[in-house]
Structure 1
Amino acid sequence: MSERQNKEIGKRLQAARMDQGLSIDYIQEKTKIQKRYLMAIEAGQMNDLPGDYYVQSFVSQYANVVGLDSHKLLAGELQETNDNGKQSAPVATGPLPSRTTQHKQVVKESEFSRRFGKYAAYLPTIVVVVIVVVVLGTIWGMSHSGNSAQPHLTSSKVSVTDDASSSKKKQSASSKSSSSSSKEKSQKITQVGSSTTEYDLKDGPSDGSSLNIKAGTSNAWVSVSSDGTQSWMGTLQTGAAHTVKVAKGVSKVSISLGNAPQTTITVNGKKFNFNPQNDTTQTKTITLNIKD
Protein backbone atom coordinates (compact mmCIF):
# COMPACT_ATOMS: atom_id res chain seq x y z
CA MET A 1 0.00 0.00 0.00
CA SER A 2 1.09 3.54 -0.65
CA GLU A 3 1.87 6.00 2.13
CA ARG A 4 -1.31 7.94 1.27
CA GLN A 5 -3.42 4.80 1.60
CA ASN A 6 -1.80 3.89 4.91
CA LYS A 7 -2.51 7.34 6.35
CA GLU A 8 -6.12 7.25 5.09
CA ILE A 9 -6.77 3.92 6.82
CA GLY A 10 -5.12 5.18 10.01
CA LYS A 11 -7.23 8.38 10.00
CA ARG A 12 -10.49 6.45 9.55
CA LEU A 13 -9.70 4.03 12.37
CA GLN A 14 -8.61 6.85 14.69
CA ALA A 15 -11.73 8.89 13.87
CA ALA A 16 -14.00 5.91 14.58
CA ARG A 17 -12.26 5.29 17.92
CA MET A 18 -12.57 8.94 18.97
CA ASP A 19 -16.24 9.07 17.93
CA GLN A 20 -16.91 6.37 20.51
CA GLY A 21 -14.71 7.96 23.18
CA LEU A 22 -12.40 4.92 23.29
CA SER A 23 -8.77 5.08 24.42
CA ILE A 24 -5.89 3.35 22.66
CA ASP A 25 -5.46 1.22 25.81
CA TYR A 26 -9.03 -0.08 25.40
CA ILE A 27 -8.29 -1.14 21.80
CA GLN A 28 -5.13 -2.91 23.01
CA GLU A 29 -7.10 -4.80 25.68
CA LYS A 30 -9.75 -5.95 23.20
CA THR A 31 -7.42 -6.98 20.33
CA LYS A 32 -4.36 -8.07 22.35
CA ILE A 33 -2.29 -6.07 19.82
CA GLN A 34 0.60 -4.12 21.34
CA LYS A 35 -0.06 -0.42 21.85
CA ARG A 36 2.93 0.64 19.76
CA TYR A 37 1.52 -1.23 16.74
CA LEU A 38 -1.91 0.38 17.21
CA MET A 39 -0.29 3.84 17.34
CA ALA A 40 1.73 3.02 14.18
CA ILE A 41 -1.50 2.02 12.37
CA GLU A 42 -3.22 5.29 13.32
CA ALA A 43 -0.17 7.23 12.11
CA GLY A 44 -0.19 5.34 8.80
CA GLN A 45 3.25 3.88 9.52
CA MET A 46 2.48 0.31 8.42
CA ASN A 47 6.19 -0.43 7.89
CA ASP A 48 6.56 -0.57 11.69
CA LEU A 49 4.41 -3.75 11.78
CA PRO A 50 6.08 -7.22 11.56
CA GLY A 51 4.94 -7.83 7.95
CA ASP A 52 2.22 -7.51 5.30
CA TYR A 53 0.19 -10.34 6.82
CA TYR A 54 0.01 -8.53 10.17
CA VAL A 55 -0.98 -5.24 8.50
CA GLN A 56 -4.22 -6.78 7.23
CA SER A 57 -4.78 -8.87 10.37
CA PHE A 58 -4.22 -5.99 12.83
CA VAL A 59 -6.23 -3.49 10.76
CA SER A 60 -9.13 -5.96 10.52
CA GLN A 61 -9.17 -6.54 14.29
CA TYR A 62 -8.98 -2.80 15.01
CA ALA A 63 -11.82 -2.09 12.54
CA ASN A 64 -14.05 -4.73 14.09
CA VAL A 65 -13.66 -3.21 17.58
CA VAL A 66 -14.62 0.32 16.45
CA GLY A 67 -17.51 -0.90 14.29
CA LEU A 68 -16.08 -0.43 10.79
CA ASP A 69 -16.46 -2.95 7.97
CA SER A 70 -12.91 -4.32 7.77
CA HIS A 71 -13.49 -5.97 4.38
CA LYS A 72 -14.74 -2.78 2.74
CA LEU A 73 -12.02 -0.71 4.42
CA LEU A 74 -9.18 -2.95 3.20
CA ALA A 75 -10.69 -3.64 -0.24
CA GLY A 76 -11.29 0.05 -0.90
CA GLU A 77 -7.83 1.17 0.19
CA LEU A 78 -5.78 -1.66 -1.28
CA GLN A 79 -7.08 -1.28 -4.89
CA GLU A 80 -5.08 1.75 -5.98
CA THR A 81 -5.25 1.49 -9.83
CA ASN A 82 -7.37 -0.28 -12.47
CA ASP A 83 -6.23 -2.03 -15.65
CA ASN A 84 -5.99 1.29 -17.57
CA GLY A 85 -3.56 2.72 -14.96
CA LYS A 86 -6.17 5.14 -13.63
CA GLN A 87 -6.73 5.49 -9.91
CA SER A 88 -9.82 3.65 -8.67
CA ALA A 89 -12.16 5.30 -6.22
CA PRO A 90 -11.85 3.71 -2.73
CA VAL A 91 -14.92 2.34 -1.01
CA ALA A 92 -16.42 5.07 1.12
CA THR A 93 -16.38 4.47 4.85
CA GLY A 94 -17.82 7.82 5.92
CA PRO A 95 -16.45 11.36 5.93
CA LEU A 96 -13.58 12.23 8.23
CA PRO A 97 -14.52 14.60 11.08
CA SER A 98 -13.51 18.24 10.93
CA ARG A 99 -10.56 19.58 12.91
CA THR A 100 -13.01 21.09 15.43
CA THR A 101 -14.75 17.72 15.91
CA GLN A 102 -11.42 15.92 16.27
CA HIS A 103 -10.35 18.41 18.91
CA LYS A 104 -13.53 17.81 20.91
CA GLN A 105 -13.07 14.06 20.62
CA VAL A 106 -9.48 14.23 21.84
CA VAL A 107 -10.73 16.00 24.98
CA LYS A 108 -12.82 12.89 25.70
CA GLU A 109 -9.70 10.70 25.92
CA SER A 110 -9.07 9.16 29.33
CA GLU A 111 -6.89 10.93 31.89
CA PHE A 112 -4.39 8.12 31.68
CA SER A 113 -3.97 8.43 27.90
CA ARG A 114 -3.60 12.21 28.04
CA ARG A 115 -0.97 12.04 30.78
CA PHE A 116 1.14 9.17 29.56
CA GLY A 117 0.57 9.13 25.79
CA LYS A 118 3.66 11.29 25.28
CA TYR A 119 5.82 8.52 26.72
CA ALA A 120 4.73 6.00 24.07
CA ALA A 121 7.85 6.71 22.02
CA TYR A 122 9.95 5.40 24.91
CA LEU A 123 8.02 2.11 25.18
CA PRO A 124 10.43 0.02 23.02
CA THR A 125 13.39 1.17 25.13
CA ILE A 126 11.53 0.36 28.35
CA VAL A 127 10.65 -3.12 27.06
CA VAL A 128 14.29 -3.83 26.17
CA VAL A 129 15.47 -2.65 29.61
CA VAL A 130 12.89 -4.84 31.36
CA ILE A 131 13.93 -7.91 29.32
CA VAL A 132 17.62 -7.31 30.13
CA VAL A 133 16.83 -6.95 33.84
CA VAL A 134 14.77 -10.16 33.83
CA VAL A 135 17.52 -12.12 32.04
CA LEU A 136 20.25 -10.84 34.39
CA GLY A 137 18.05 -11.56 37.40
CA THR A 138 17.41 -15.11 36.20
CA ILE A 139 21.13 -15.75 35.65
CA TRP A 140 22.00 -14.38 39.09
CA GLY A 141 19.24 -16.42 40.73
CA MET A 142 20.42 -19.66 39.10
CA SER A 143 24.02 -18.96 40.06
CA HIS A 144 23.09 -18.11 43.66
CA SER A 145 20.92 -21.21 43.91
CA GLY A 146 23.81 -23.40 42.70
CA ASN A 147 26.25 -21.89 45.22
CA SER A 148 23.87 -22.21 48.16
CA ALA A 149 23.27 -25.88 47.38
CA GLN A 150 26.98 -26.80 47.46
CA PRO A 151 27.53 -26.73 51.28
CA HIS A 152 24.56 -29.08 51.72
CA LEU A 153 26.09 -31.62 49.34
CA THR A 154 29.45 -31.38 51.11
CA SER A 155 27.98 -31.80 54.59
CA SER A 156 26.09 -34.91 53.55
CA LYS A 157 29.37 -36.59 52.61
CA VAL A 158 31.12 -36.10 56.02
CA SER A 159 28.49 -37.91 58.09
CA VAL A 160 30.37 -40.94 59.57
CA THR A 161 29.98 -43.37 62.48
CA ASP A 162 32.22 -45.82 64.30
CA ASP A 163 29.62 -48.54 64.01
CA ALA A 164 30.14 -50.29 60.64
CA SER A 165 26.73 -51.92 60.74
CA SER A 166 24.97 -48.61 61.44
CA SER A 167 26.91 -46.97 58.61
CA LYS A 168 25.77 -49.63 56.13
CA LYS A 169 22.13 -49.22 57.21
CA LYS A 170 22.31 -45.44 56.79
CA GLN A 171 23.92 -45.77 53.37
CA SER A 172 21.19 -48.19 52.29
CA ALA A 173 18.44 -45.86 53.54
CA SER A 174 20.12 -42.90 51.84
CA SER A 175 20.32 -44.83 48.56
CA LYS A 176 16.62 -45.71 48.69
CA SER A 177 15.68 -42.13 49.49
CA SER A 178 17.78 -40.84 46.62
CA SER A 179 16.25 -43.36 44.24
CA SER A 180 12.73 -42.40 45.33
CA SER A 181 13.31 -38.66 44.99
CA SER A 182 14.83 -39.08 41.52
CA LYS A 183 11.53 -40.35 40.17
CA GLU A 184 9.89 -37.22 38.80
CA LYS A 185 6.17 -37.07 38.37
CA SER A 186 4.88 -36.83 34.84
CA GLN A 187 3.67 -33.32 34.04
CA LYS A 188 0.02 -32.73 33.21
CA ILE A 189 -1.58 -29.89 31.23
CA THR A 190 -5.33 -29.64 31.73
CA GLN A 191 -7.96 -27.24 30.43
CA VAL A 192 -9.43 -24.82 32.98
CA GLY A 193 -13.20 -25.34 32.95
CA SER A 194 -14.70 -24.74 29.52
CA SER A 195 -12.07 -22.17 28.54
CA THR A 196 -10.25 -22.75 25.26
CA THR A 197 -7.37 -20.41 26.11
CA GLU A 198 -6.51 -21.15 29.78
CA TYR A 199 -4.70 -24.28 31.01
CA ASP A 200 -3.09 -25.57 34.23
CA LEU A 201 0.44 -27.07 34.21
CA LYS A 202 1.05 -29.49 37.09
CA ASP A 203 4.14 -31.48 38.14
CA GLY A 204 6.50 -29.53 35.89
CA PRO A 205 10.28 -29.30 36.58
CA SER A 206 11.07 -27.81 39.99
CA ASP A 207 13.74 -25.52 38.53
CA GLY A 208 11.46 -23.85 35.95
CA SER A 209 9.81 -24.84 32.71
CA SER A 210 10.98 -24.55 29.11
CA LEU A 211 8.78 -23.46 26.18
CA ASN A 212 9.75 -24.24 22.59
CA ILE A 213 7.72 -22.31 20.00
CA LYS A 214 7.97 -23.18 16.30
CA ALA A 215 6.52 -21.68 13.11
CA GLY A 216 4.98 -23.95 10.50
CA THR A 217 4.69 -23.27 6.76
CA SER A 218 4.44 -19.48 7.23
CA ASN A 219 5.87 -16.80 9.51
CA ALA A 220 4.49 -16.53 13.05
CA TRP A 221 4.55 -13.55 15.41
CA VAL A 222 4.93 -14.53 19.10
CA SER A 223 5.04 -12.71 22.46
CA VAL A 224 5.70 -14.45 25.82
CA SER A 225 5.12 -12.87 29.28
CA SER A 226 5.87 -14.30 32.74
CA ASP A 227 3.71 -12.97 35.59
CA GLY A 228 2.90 -9.86 33.53
CA THR A 229 6.52 -9.15 32.46
CA GLN A 230 7.40 -9.70 28.81
CA SER A 231 10.09 -12.39 28.44
CA TRP A 232 10.44 -12.50 24.65
CA MET A 233 8.82 -11.15 21.50
CA GLY A 234 9.64 -11.68 17.84
CA THR A 235 8.61 -13.03 14.44
CA LEU A 236 9.60 -16.62 13.67
CA GLN A 237 10.41 -17.29 10.04
CA THR A 238 8.94 -20.37 8.31
CA GLY A 239 10.13 -23.52 10.11
CA ALA A 240 12.14 -21.56 12.70
CA ALA A 241 11.86 -22.19 16.47
CA HIS A 242 12.70 -20.32 19.68
CA THR A 243 13.04 -21.60 23.27
CA VAL A 244 11.92 -19.47 26.24
CA LYS A 245 13.05 -20.46 29.75
CA VAL A 246 10.44 -19.81 32.46
CA ALA A 247 12.15 -18.99 35.75
CA LYS A 248 11.46 -20.90 38.96
CA GLY A 249 8.61 -19.34 40.95
CA VAL A 250 6.67 -17.96 37.96
CA SER A 251 2.96 -18.77 38.38
CA LYS A 252 1.44 -17.56 35.11
CA VAL A 253 2.75 -17.51 31.53
CA SER A 254 0.89 -15.74 28.69
CA ILE A 255 1.66 -16.68 25.08
CA SER A 256 0.26 -14.34 22.38
CA LEU A 257 0.23 -15.77 18.84
CA GLY A 258 -0.23 -13.79 15.63
CA ASN A 259 -0.60 -16.88 13.43
CA ALA A 260 -1.94 -19.54 15.80
CA PRO A 261 -2.90 -22.25 13.25
CA GLN A 262 0.70 -22.30 11.94
CA THR A 263 2.36 -22.34 15.40
CA THR A 264 3.28 -25.32 17.60
CA ILE A 265 4.29 -25.20 21.28
CA THR A 266 6.31 -27.77 23.24
CA VAL A 267 6.34 -27.56 27.07
CA ASN A 268 9.29 -29.30 28.77
CA GLY A 269 9.78 -31.54 25.74
CA LYS A 270 6.12 -32.53 25.42
CA LYS A 271 3.77 -31.18 22.73
CA PHE A 272 1.13 -28.79 24.08
CA ASN A 273 -2.20 -29.11 22.23
CA PHE A 274 -3.53 -25.57 22.82
CA ASN A 275 -6.06 -25.81 19.98
CA PRO A 276 -8.06 -29.05 20.54
CA GLN A 277 -11.04 -27.61 18.60
CA ASN A 278 -8.86 -26.99 15.52
CA ASP A 279 -10.35 -23.53 15.01
CA THR A 280 -8.77 -21.15 12.49
CA THR A 281 -8.55 -18.05 14.68
CA GLN A 282 -5.36 -16.23 13.66
CA THR A 283 -4.69 -14.20 16.82
CA LYS A 284 -4.86 -16.03 20.13
CA THR A 285 -3.51 -15.56 23.67
CA ILE A 286 -2.86 -18.73 25.71
CA THR A 287 -2.62 -18.57 29.52
CA LEU A 288 -0.62 -21.32 31.30
CA ASN A 289 -1.04 -21.48 35.09
CA ILE A 290 1.97 -23.21 36.65
CA LYS A 291 0.99 -25.26 39.70
CA ASP A 292 3.33 -26.81 42.26
Structure 2
Amino acid sequence: MTELGARLKEARTAKGYSIEDLQEITKIQKRYLAGIEEGNYASMPGAFYVRAFIKQYAEAVGLNGDELLETYKSEIPSPSNEDVTKSIPTTPSRRALGGRSSSKIMEIFPMIMVVVFVIAIIIMSWFLFQNRADEPEDTVTSDELTQENKPTFEDNENIQPADKEEPKEEETVEEVEEEVEPEPTQQLSFVDLQGVTSNYNLTGAETYLVKLVAVNTTWLNIRDENDKIIADQSVKAGETYEFDASALSKIRIRLGHAPGNIVTINDEVVEFKSAEITQNAVIQFNK
Protein backbone atom coordinates (compact mmCIF):
# COMPACT_ATOMS: atom_id res chain seq x y z
CA MET A 1 0.00 0.00 0.00
CA THR A 2 1.38 3.44 -0.96
CA GLU A 3 1.50 6.46 1.35
CA LEU A 4 -1.26 8.10 -0.72
CA GLY A 5 -3.44 4.99 -0.49
CA ALA A 6 -2.92 4.78 3.27
CA ARG A 7 -3.92 8.42 3.74
CA LEU A 8 -7.09 7.99 1.65
CA LYS A 9 -8.06 4.79 3.47
CA GLU A 10 -7.50 6.46 6.85
CA ALA A 11 -9.81 9.37 5.85
CA ARG A 12 -12.45 6.92 4.60
CA THR A 13 -12.35 4.93 7.82
CA ALA A 14 -12.64 8.14 9.86
CA LYS A 15 -15.83 8.98 7.97
CA GLY A 16 -17.22 5.54 8.72
CA TYR A 17 -17.52 4.66 5.00
CA SER A 18 -17.04 1.20 3.59
CA ILE A 19 -15.81 0.62 0.03
CA GLU A 20 -19.46 -0.02 -0.95
CA ASP A 21 -20.55 3.30 0.63
CA LEU A 22 -17.83 5.14 -1.26
CA GLN A 23 -18.88 3.43 -4.50
CA GLU A 24 -22.45 4.69 -3.99
CA ILE A 25 -21.22 8.26 -3.32
CA THR A 26 -18.62 8.55 -6.13
CA LYS A 27 -20.11 6.07 -8.65
CA ILE A 28 -16.59 4.65 -9.11
CA GLN A 29 -16.38 0.85 -9.19
CA LYS A 30 -15.13 -0.53 -5.89
CA ARG A 31 -12.33 -2.51 -7.59
CA TYR A 32 -10.88 0.84 -8.76
CA LEU A 33 -11.29 2.33 -5.28
CA ALA A 34 -9.50 -0.65 -3.75
CA GLY A 35 -6.78 -0.33 -6.40
CA ILE A 36 -6.23 3.32 -5.40
CA GLU A 37 -5.79 2.36 -1.74
CA GLU A 38 -3.40 -0.48 -2.64
CA GLY A 39 -1.48 1.61 -5.19
CA ASN A 40 -2.46 -0.81 -7.98
CA TYR A 41 -3.10 1.52 -10.93
CA ALA A 42 -2.56 -1.12 -13.64
CA SER A 43 -6.20 -2.26 -13.45
CA MET A 44 -7.53 1.22 -14.35
CA PRO A 45 -8.41 2.46 -17.87
CA GLY A 46 -5.51 4.92 -18.06
CA ALA A 47 -3.43 7.54 -16.25
CA PHE A 48 -6.00 10.26 -16.94
CA TYR A 49 -8.70 8.26 -15.12
CA VAL A 50 -6.30 7.44 -12.25
CA ARG A 51 -5.89 11.14 -11.43
CA ALA A 52 -9.63 11.83 -11.86
CA PHE A 53 -10.61 8.91 -9.59
CA ILE A 54 -8.09 9.91 -6.89
CA LYS A 55 -9.39 13.49 -6.87
CA GLN A 56 -13.03 12.35 -6.63
CA TYR A 57 -12.15 9.82 -3.88
CA ALA A 58 -10.36 12.55 -1.88
CA GLU A 59 -13.23 15.06 -2.11
CA ALA A 60 -15.76 12.39 -1.05
CA VAL A 61 -13.84 11.76 2.21
CA GLY A 62 -13.23 15.48 2.92
CA LEU A 63 -9.68 15.90 1.56
CA ASN A 64 -8.31 18.40 -0.98
CA GLY A 65 -7.93 16.45 -4.23
CA ASP A 66 -5.66 18.97 -6.03
CA GLU A 67 -3.35 19.18 -3.01
CA LEU A 68 -3.02 15.37 -2.82
CA LEU A 69 -2.26 15.09 -6.56
CA GLU A 70 0.50 17.67 -6.22
CA THR A 71 1.96 16.15 -3.02
CA TYR A 72 2.07 12.56 -4.32
CA LYS A 73 2.66 13.26 -8.02
CA SER A 74 5.73 11.02 -7.96
CA GLU A 75 3.52 8.03 -7.02
CA ILE A 76 0.82 8.75 -9.61
CA PRO A 77 1.31 7.91 -13.30
CA SER A 78 1.28 10.96 -15.62
CA PRO A 79 -1.26 11.02 -18.47
CA SER A 80 0.10 10.19 -21.93
CA ASN A 81 -0.15 12.45 -25.00
CA GLU A 82 -3.08 10.35 -26.23
CA ASP A 83 -5.03 11.00 -22.99
CA VAL A 84 -4.30 14.74 -23.21
CA THR A 85 -5.38 14.83 -26.86
CA LYS A 86 -8.72 13.22 -25.98
CA SER A 87 -9.42 15.93 -23.39
CA ILE A 88 -8.63 18.87 -25.79
CA PRO A 89 -11.74 20.11 -27.70
CA THR A 90 -11.48 20.28 -31.48
CA THR A 91 -11.15 23.65 -33.28
CA PRO A 92 -14.33 24.77 -35.11
CA SER A 93 -14.17 24.47 -38.91
CA ARG A 94 -14.23 27.40 -41.31
CA ARG A 95 -17.70 26.38 -42.35
CA ALA A 96 -18.90 26.76 -38.76
CA LEU A 97 -17.17 30.14 -38.48
CA GLY A 98 -18.77 31.24 -41.73
CA GLY A 99 -22.15 30.31 -40.33
CA ARG A 100 -21.66 32.87 -37.55
CA SER A 101 -21.45 35.78 -40.01
CA SER A 102 -24.61 34.64 -41.79
CA SER A 103 -26.39 34.35 -38.44
CA LYS A 104 -25.43 37.98 -37.66
CA ILE A 105 -27.07 39.10 -40.91
CA MET A 106 -30.24 37.23 -39.93
CA GLU A 107 -30.17 38.96 -36.53
CA ILE A 108 -30.14 42.52 -37.99
CA PHE A 109 -32.60 41.67 -40.81
CA PRO A 110 -35.71 42.32 -38.62
CA MET A 111 -34.29 45.75 -37.67
CA ILE A 112 -33.86 46.65 -41.35
CA MET A 113 -37.47 45.63 -42.05
CA VAL A 114 -38.73 47.82 -39.16
CA VAL A 115 -36.84 50.88 -40.50
CA VAL A 116 -38.24 50.35 -44.02
CA PHE A 117 -41.78 49.99 -42.60
CA VAL A 118 -41.48 53.25 -40.59
CA ILE A 119 -40.21 55.16 -43.66
CA ALA A 120 -43.14 53.82 -45.72
CA ILE A 121 -45.64 55.03 -43.08
CA ILE A 122 -44.09 58.53 -43.08
CA ILE A 123 -44.30 58.78 -46.90
CA MET A 124 -47.95 57.62 -46.96
CA SER A 125 -48.92 60.10 -44.21
CA TRP A 126 -47.30 63.01 -46.09
CA PHE A 127 -49.06 62.02 -49.32
CA LEU A 128 -52.52 61.89 -47.66
CA PHE A 129 -51.93 65.26 -45.96
CA GLN A 130 -51.07 66.91 -49.28
CA ASN A 131 -54.22 65.55 -51.00
CA ARG A 132 -56.41 66.73 -48.14
CA ALA A 133 -54.90 70.23 -48.25
CA ASP A 134 -55.81 70.56 -51.97
CA GLU A 135 -59.56 69.85 -51.42
CA PRO A 136 -61.83 73.03 -51.39
CA GLU A 137 -63.57 73.78 -48.14
CA ASP A 138 -67.30 74.74 -48.06
CA THR A 139 -67.69 78.22 -46.56
CA VAL A 140 -70.86 79.25 -44.78
CA THR A 141 -71.47 82.84 -43.63
CA SER A 142 -72.63 83.69 -40.16
CA ASP A 143 -75.83 85.30 -41.55
CA GLU A 144 -76.90 82.07 -43.28
CA LEU A 145 -76.38 80.14 -40.06
CA THR A 146 -78.50 82.68 -38.16
CA GLN A 147 -81.40 82.45 -40.61
CA GLU A 148 -81.39 78.64 -40.56
CA ASN A 149 -81.34 78.34 -36.79
CA LYS A 150 -83.76 81.22 -35.91
CA PRO A 151 -87.21 79.79 -34.94
CA THR A 152 -90.40 81.24 -36.51
CA PHE A 153 -93.51 82.56 -34.70
CA GLU A 154 -95.54 79.47 -35.63
CA ASP A 155 -92.84 77.28 -34.23
CA ASN A 156 -93.03 79.16 -30.93
CA GLU A 157 -96.81 78.60 -30.66
CA ASN A 158 -96.48 74.89 -31.22
CA ILE A 159 -93.89 74.49 -28.50
CA GLN A 160 -95.47 72.90 -25.46
CA PRO A 161 -93.87 73.03 -22.05
CA ALA A 162 -92.14 69.77 -21.35
CA ASP A 163 -93.45 67.69 -18.53
CA LYS A 164 -91.22 67.80 -15.56
CA GLU A 165 -89.67 64.48 -14.96
CA GLU A 166 -90.11 63.22 -11.48
CA PRO A 167 -86.82 62.34 -9.86
CA LYS A 168 -86.20 58.66 -9.82
CA GLU A 169 -85.66 57.02 -6.56
CA GLU A 170 -82.14 55.83 -6.25
CA GLU A 171 -81.95 52.13 -5.94
CA THR A 172 -80.07 51.02 -2.94
CA VAL A 173 -77.70 48.19 -3.48
CA GLU A 174 -76.71 46.20 -0.53
CA GLU A 175 -73.07 45.41 -0.63
CA VAL A 176 -72.26 41.97 0.56
CA GLU A 177 -68.84 41.66 1.95
CA GLU A 178 -67.26 38.37 1.04
CA GLU A 179 -65.34 36.72 3.77
CA VAL A 180 -61.81 36.03 2.59
CA GLU A 181 -60.16 33.12 4.26
CA PRO A 182 -56.52 33.76 5.09
CA GLU A 183 -54.09 31.67 3.04
CA PRO A 184 -52.09 29.13 5.04
CA THR A 185 -48.56 30.22 5.87
CA GLN A 186 -45.71 27.80 5.23
CA GLN A 187 -43.62 26.97 8.29
CA LEU A 188 -40.38 24.96 8.19
CA SER A 189 -39.48 23.89 11.75
CA PHE A 190 -36.15 22.38 12.86
CA VAL A 191 -36.73 19.32 15.07
CA ASP A 192 -33.30 17.95 16.03
CA LEU A 193 -29.85 16.88 14.82
CA GLN A 194 -28.99 13.17 14.88
CA GLY A 195 -25.39 12.60 13.85
CA VAL A 196 -25.07 14.13 10.35
CA THR A 197 -28.87 14.24 9.83
CA SER A 198 -30.90 17.44 10.39
CA ASN A 199 -34.63 16.71 10.91
CA TYR A 200 -37.37 19.18 9.90
CA ASN A 201 -41.19 19.44 9.84
CA LEU A 202 -42.93 21.41 7.04
CA THR A 203 -46.53 22.62 7.49
CA GLY A 204 -48.93 25.02 5.74
CA ALA A 205 -47.91 24.22 2.14
CA GLU A 206 -49.81 22.59 -0.73
CA THR A 207 -46.78 21.83 -2.91
CA TYR A 208 -43.22 20.90 -2.07
CA LEU A 209 -40.60 22.09 -4.59
CA VAL A 210 -37.07 20.93 -3.72
CA LYS A 211 -34.23 22.97 -5.25
CA LEU A 212 -30.44 22.57 -5.02
CA VAL A 213 -28.21 25.48 -6.11
CA ALA A 214 -24.72 23.99 -6.36
CA VAL A 215 -22.01 26.46 -5.41
CA ASN A 216 -19.55 23.56 -5.12
CA THR A 217 -19.71 20.30 -7.06
CA THR A 218 -21.51 17.68 -4.96
CA TRP A 219 -23.15 14.28 -5.15
CA LEU A 220 -26.95 14.46 -4.59
CA ASN A 221 -29.08 11.56 -3.33
CA ILE A 222 -32.84 11.92 -2.62
CA ARG A 223 -34.99 9.11 -1.16
CA ASP A 224 -38.72 8.98 -0.31
CA GLU A 225 -40.47 7.69 2.84
CA ASN A 226 -40.02 4.09 1.61
CA ASP A 227 -36.25 4.59 1.07
CA LYS A 228 -36.81 4.55 -2.71
CA ILE A 229 -34.15 6.47 -4.67
CA ILE A 230 -35.63 9.54 -6.38
CA ALA A 231 -32.35 11.15 -7.49
CA ASP A 232 -28.76 9.90 -7.41
CA GLN A 233 -26.39 12.04 -9.47
CA SER A 234 -23.57 14.57 -9.46
CA VAL A 235 -24.49 18.27 -9.61
CA LYS A 236 -21.65 20.47 -10.82
CA ALA A 237 -20.84 23.93 -9.47
CA GLY A 238 -23.10 26.55 -11.04
CA GLU A 239 -25.88 24.06 -11.86
CA THR A 240 -29.40 23.94 -10.31
CA TYR A 241 -31.42 20.80 -9.64
CA GLU A 242 -35.21 20.93 -9.01
CA PHE A 243 -37.66 18.21 -7.94
CA ASP A 244 -41.41 18.37 -7.17
CA ALA A 245 -42.05 16.27 -4.04
CA SER A 246 -45.74 17.22 -3.67
CA ALA A 247 -46.85 13.58 -3.98
CA LEU A 248 -44.58 12.43 -1.11
CA SER A 249 -44.96 12.65 2.66
CA LYS A 250 -41.26 12.55 3.58
CA ILE A 251 -37.89 12.89 1.83
CA ARG A 252 -34.23 12.49 2.77
CA ILE A 253 -31.69 14.72 1.00
CA ARG A 254 -28.02 13.63 1.16
CA LEU A 255 -25.18 15.85 -0.08
CA GLY A 256 -21.71 14.43 -0.60
CA HIS A 257 -20.32 17.98 -0.18
CA ALA A 258 -22.78 20.05 1.88
CA PRO A 259 -20.76 23.20 2.84
CA GLY A 260 -21.50 26.17 0.58
CA ASN A 261 -24.37 24.51 -1.31
CA ILE A 262 -27.95 25.81 -0.92
CA VAL A 263 -31.04 23.58 -0.57
CA THR A 264 -34.55 25.10 -0.41
CA ILE A 265 -38.13 23.84 0.03
CA ASN A 266 -40.60 26.24 -1.65
CA ASP A 267 -37.77 28.86 -1.70
CA GLU A 268 -37.16 28.49 2.08
CA VAL A 269 -33.58 27.51 2.95
CA VAL A 270 -32.98 24.13 4.62
CA GLU A 271 -29.93 24.41 6.90
CA PHE A 272 -27.54 21.48 7.35
CA LYS A 273 -26.68 21.75 11.03
CA SER A 274 -23.73 19.31 11.18
CA ALA A 275 -20.13 20.39 10.59
CA GLU A 276 -19.32 17.31 8.47
CA ILE A 277 -18.67 17.40 4.72
CA THR A 278 -21.32 14.77 3.89
CA GLN A 279 -24.69 15.53 5.53
CA ASN A 280 -28.38 14.58 5.40
CA ALA A 281 -31.60 16.57 5.77
CA VAL A 282 -34.91 14.76 6.46
CA ILE A 283 -38.12 16.75 5.85
CA GLN A 284 -41.49 15.46 7.10
CA PHE A 285 -44.43 16.97 5.15
CA ASN A 286 -47.52 17.60 7.30
CA LYS A 287 -50.23 18.32 4.74
Please give the TM-score of this superposition, normalised by the length of structure 2: 0.44
Give the structure with the larger helix fraction.
1
Question: Radius of gyration: which is bigger?
Answer: 2
Please give the TM-score of this superposition, normalised by the length of structure 1: 0.44
